[in-house]
Chains A and B, each alone.
Chain A
Amino acid sequence: MHAAAAEPAFEPLIRLEMEMETFLSDWQHCDYLSSFLARMISHNRTDPVRHANFFSSALNELLEVSFRGGSSGGRIGCTVYRQGELERVKLSFPCPPGQHDFYREAVSKTRKGDAYARYLDAVSTALAPTREIVLLDLAINFEAEISLEEEASSSITLVVDLPLGGIVS
């Protein structure tokens, strides 16, 4: 384990929480929340409008993952942090305990050497993207670094670092 002090300081920008049941009641919540959060955190970026567009794009995919994979008891929480050109999204949502292995595997695949080949293969043949492919999309198209925090068995926390500051400008 690395010493905690080696972690660079991430400044929290915004946190949003809601009942998972409420979140799951309408698919549009993914769109609304990602657009809203993106606008809130982007105003002091070099190009706020384009930063918000990029960020919303990535965050919406994450929210859609939690919409498709989450279960209704408990709360969904989303916190956005910033460190320099990087934004970190921590998204926690309740999901069945049996799903942990799935996320562990999907996340580890985003770091493997064949990630791009797998992604191309999915675009080339699959009818609809799986949650695993969505995570690959974030890693490839948004240069995201994705990891998992597993604190409770009844929920999952995706930690996604997005170097958008560099990509947008």
Chain B
Amino acid sequence: MNIATTLSTPHQAVYDPNSQEFSVAGVIRPRSVDEIAPSLSALRQAIEVARGVLYINVKRLVQMNNTAFHAFSRVILDACRSRSDIRFVVVTSSVVGWTERMFRHLSRIEPQVTVEVYDSKFYPGQSFVEDTSFIPILRTQTKMTWRHERAILPRHGMRPGIHMADICCGIGDFAVLVRKEFQPARIVALDHSRASLAYARNVAADFGIVDIEYSYGDASEMLLEDDQFDLVTCRHSLQIFNQPHVLLKELYRICKPGGRVYITNEKNSHCLGEPRSQSIQWTYNEVAKLFSHFEMDVELGPKSRRFLADAGFEDIRVESFMVTNLDGDPQDFADIITAWENVYAGEMAVKRGDPPEFIERFRQGFRDHIFAALHPKGYAGWPIWAASGRKPL
């Protein structure tokens, strides 16, 4: 037996009795069934102890050949025949299209098997951040942060000729700006919003850009292979995941050893303005609470150092910058705040069930922030933390 075959058993099969979930992940392309015998018997054991519904999670299954598919199917179908008390729910991902196509046949054969396509409803805050009403905000935001980031990025590993990935790329304008300014050799830009990606592809097409690889995917379980990129960027997004460390682990995985992962995050309660500072401060404190209600931590910025360290990065660099009404046109700053007011007060607070008096006061802080931004002697700021770490060699 050569080393390549012994080393490459890159799949995992685990059973979690608490959720009655059997998960198969990775690449499963055995030559014969014997090679995956341990995983098959793990599934048999899971079936033995499970009561009611057993979830078969194949969301992170990257590849599976017919040999493996038939073998796993065999175990599931046999169980359906011998145990009328058990049901199977196969959870597939909308990203890996062929898994749903293959597994749905099982439900044709045995009605005890159902197939569910995992989608956005599984993330607490997902529906807000994937909403198309975010598109105009993202555009103006990137325009304003870019003024700072173009100077910051070279300190975090950005340089011409690199291979980079922008994860949670939104509408893709950061990738377009980076491409123009720094000329990387390869850019992959991934997001989980089909609407944002469609927008990104249209913009790219309008500018005749063909070399940005826009991809639909789930940042917490990407199809991208390990150790591929010199720089992985993930902007304003760690803070919207209920489990930022899971996302960071994926960013780490696709980064080359010696490469860097660059993240930007906010601390919303530190948004500020003069005049009317108190009303502004009250509202942004409430923004932080509102997001945490939906399991998102928009106070994450200053925690970047800890998150990067806990994820195993070294040579961690953290800096902060303040986007203000004095960067270019104050109206741009005001537009961002208007968009925040619309989504945070108009949608999220309503969804949380806040009373009208609260929403009115909440809105007032945004309006005061706009007032400060447009005031001839006013000052309005939005602080952001940019941090990066190197993946050890």
- Using CB atoms and an 8 Å cutoff, list the residues of chain A in contact with chain B: 26-28, 30-31, 43-44, 46-50, 52-54, 56-57, 60-61, 64, 119-120, 122-124, 126-129, 133-134, 137, 141-142, 167-168
Chosen A-B contacts, 16 in total, with CB atoms closer than 8 Å, are A26-B2, A26-B5, A28-B8, A47-B215, A50-B95, A50-B97, A50-B223, A53-B98, A54-B98, A60-B63, A61-B65, A123-B109, A128-B33, A129-B66, A129-B70, A141-B102
Minimum distance in angstroms from A26 CB to a CB of chain B: 6
Q: Tell me the chain B residues, 183-235 only, with Cβ under 8 Å from chain A.
A: 188, 190, 201, 210, 213-217, 222-224
User: B29 is contacted by which of A31, A47, A49, A53 (Cβ under 8 Å)?
Assistant: A31
Is B74 a contact of A31 with CB atoms below 8 Å? no
The residues of B that contact A133 with a CB separation of less than 8 Å are 66, 70
Known: A134-B66, A137-B66. 18 other contacts (CB 8 A): A26-B5, A30-B29, A31-B29, A44-B210, A50-B95, A50-B217, A54-B98, A61-B65, A61-B66, A64-B65, A120-B109, A123-B106, A126-B70, A128-B70, A129-B67, A137-B102, A141-B101, A142-B101
Number of A-B contacts defined by CB within 8 Å: 96
Query: 1/0 per position for B323-348, CB-CB distance to A under 8 A?
Result: 00000000000000000000000000
Is B33 a contact of A123 with CB atoms below 8 Å? no
The CA-CA distance from A123 to B190 in the complex, in Å, is 35
The CA-CA distance from A28 to B10 in the complex, in Å, is 12
Mostly, the A contact residues are helix
The residues of B that contact A47 with a CB separation of less than 8 Å are 214-216
Minimum distance in angstroms from A97 CB to a CB of chain B: 25
Q: Is B105 an interface residue (CB 8 A)?
A: yes
| A53-B214 in contact given A26-B4, A30-B29, A60-B29 (Cβ < 8 Å) | no
Is B65 a contact of A53 with CB atoms below 8 Å? no
User: A53 is contacted by which of B31, B66, B188, B223 (Cβ under 8 Å)?
Assistant: B223
The residues of A that contact B224 with a CB separation of less than 8 Å are 49
User: A120 is contacted by which of B2, B29, B33, B108 (Cβ under 8 Å)?
Assistant: B108
The CA-CA distance from A66 to B63 in the complex, in Å, is 19
